[in-house]
Structure 1
C-alpha cells in the first residue's frame, strides 16, 4: 500500500431518480459532500438496481449507461457519464472475493445504472475518476455486511466504497404531496439506530422498526447500506457514522451517511 494514499470513507447515499438533476437543493448537497472528501483513486459502486448472483463485476471500460427507467422526458435518456473503467480495481475485487463458495463473474457490457450514475453526475461531474459497479449478490443483510468487510481493504487503496439505495422506498404507497407517516417514522428510527450503533436492530429492520415493511416492501434499496456498514465495521467505525444529507424528496427519506 502506498502510505501517501489517505483511507477513504465508506458511504451510503440515497441516489434519487433522473429528475434529481432538476432539484433546487439536492445536487448542491451531493456536490458539497464530494468536495469535502479526499479525492478517490476509484469508486466502487453497489446499487440497488443491479441484483445478480453470483456477484458480478460490471464493465471495466467505458460503455453506454443503463437507462433503467421508463416514462421520463427524452432528455433524461440522453445523459452520459463517460467515467474511465477500473480494471485494476476489478482485479483487486476478484482477489478479495474469490474463495470457495463465493464465485465472481464478469459482465463486461454492463454499464452504470441510474443508481450509480445519477449521484455521480452531481458528485464528480468531470467523470474523470474510474468507476466499477458490482452487483448485489443477495438481499440478506448479514451476508451483505460480510461482503462489505471483505471489500474494506480497498479503502486503504484510496477507493471510495458507495452503497447506493434510498433510505425509504415504496413508490406504490406514496400519495400526492406531503411526507407519508411511514417514511418519516422509519427515517427517524433509522437515524436513532445508526446513532446508537444498533446494528442488530438495523439487520432486522423489517420487524424492529416502525413501518419497516411499508418503508421497504422489498429490501433492495436498503440493502446497499449493509455493504457500507460492513466496510465501516472492519475499521471499527460503526459508531462513528454521520448523516451528511437528510430530509425528504417526493416523500422519500434521502438520508445519506458517511463512515470514516
Structure 2
C-alpha cells in the first residue's frame, strides 16, 4: 500500500479510493502493518495499548499534528507474531510506547475511519528482500485468522520529484509502468531485485525503504500470488500511489 503523507486526506480523489478499498475487504479481525518509516533491528513490535501517534514529519501546518487515530491495541496479535517469528538468533523486542507512525495511520484514517479495529505495527529489521519475504511467509498463517497484513510504503518515492501540480517525472512514470508489468506477469525475482532490474530504480527510489515493504506482502501472500489485483493506480504529487491486494 502506498501511504501518502499527512496531507493525503485533503486530496480530492485518494481518500475515496482508500475508503472503497476498506469497504470492499472482509472486515479484519486485526491489522498488522509494516511501515517504511520504522526500521529497527532486531525486529520490534509497537504499542499493544492505545498510545499517542508518532507525528514523524516536520514543517506542516499545526492541524496535522492534532490528528487522532485511537485504534485498540492488539496484544493477542502481538503474542501470535512473537510465536511465529521468534527463534534462535531471531529475537522480537517490544516497544510499548511507540505509537503508529504516519505510514501506518494515515491510510487507515481513510480505510477504517472509526478506528475500531486493533492495529499492531512491526518494524522492518532489514532492507534485504529475501529476509523480509521470509518474515512474510512466517506471518502467513495470520491471514487465515482474519488478520489484514499491510506492507506500507510508496510505489515510487523521491522527495526531490514532488510536484504540487502532480506533474510526473519521466523516471517515476517509467518505474511505475515497469512495476505494474512485473507484478502482473508474476516476475517476483525482478520485483525483489528491483534495484538491478527496474529502469530508473535509483531515481524512483534513491533509498529502497519505501518499496521494500512489498517483500513482506509477497511473502505473506506466497500461496496466492496469482491473485494479484491493482486496487489503486495513478500519481499523487508526482509519486505513484499504486497499491495492490492479494487474496
- Indicate the TM-score class for this superposition, using the shorter chain for normalisation: over 0.9
Aligned ranges 1:169-248 → 2 under 5 Å: 169-174=157-162, 177=165, 178-233=167-222, 236-248=223-235
Matched, 1:71 2:59: yes
Deviation at residue 172 of structure 1 after TM alignment: 2.0
Secondary structure at the aligned position of 2:221 is classed as: helix
Distance 1:39 1:102 in 2: 31
1:152 aligned counterpart, secondary structure: helix
The corresponding residue for 1:163 is 151
Contact 2:161 2:238 in 1 (8 A): no
How many residues are paired up? 246
Matched residue, 1:257: 244
**TM alignment of 1:118-129, pairs within 5 A:** 118-129=106-117
Which runs of 4 or more aligned residues in structure 1 lie more than 3 Å from their structure 2 counterparts after TM superposition? 173-177
Is 1:149 aligned to 2:137, yes or no?
A: yes
Q: What are the within-5 Å matches in structure 2 for residues 15-34 of structure 1?
A: 15-34=3-22
Measure, in 2, the Cα distance between the counterparts of 1:193 and 1:252: 18
Gap runs ≥5 in structure 2: none
Give the SS at the match of 1:115.
Answer: helix
* Cα distance in 2, alignment partners of residues 187 and 172 from structure 1: 17
Distance in 2 of aligned mates of 1:23 and 1:173: 18
SS in 1 for 2:210: coil
Provide the rounded CA distance (Å) in 1 between the counterparts of 2:125 and 2:13. Answer: 33
Equivalent residues of 1:194, 1:239 under 8 A apart: no
Distance 1:133 1:114 in 2: 11
CA RMSD, Structure 1 to Structure 2 (Å): 0.9
Contact 2:35 2:151 in 1 (8 A): yes
Distance 2:96 2:162 in 1: 36
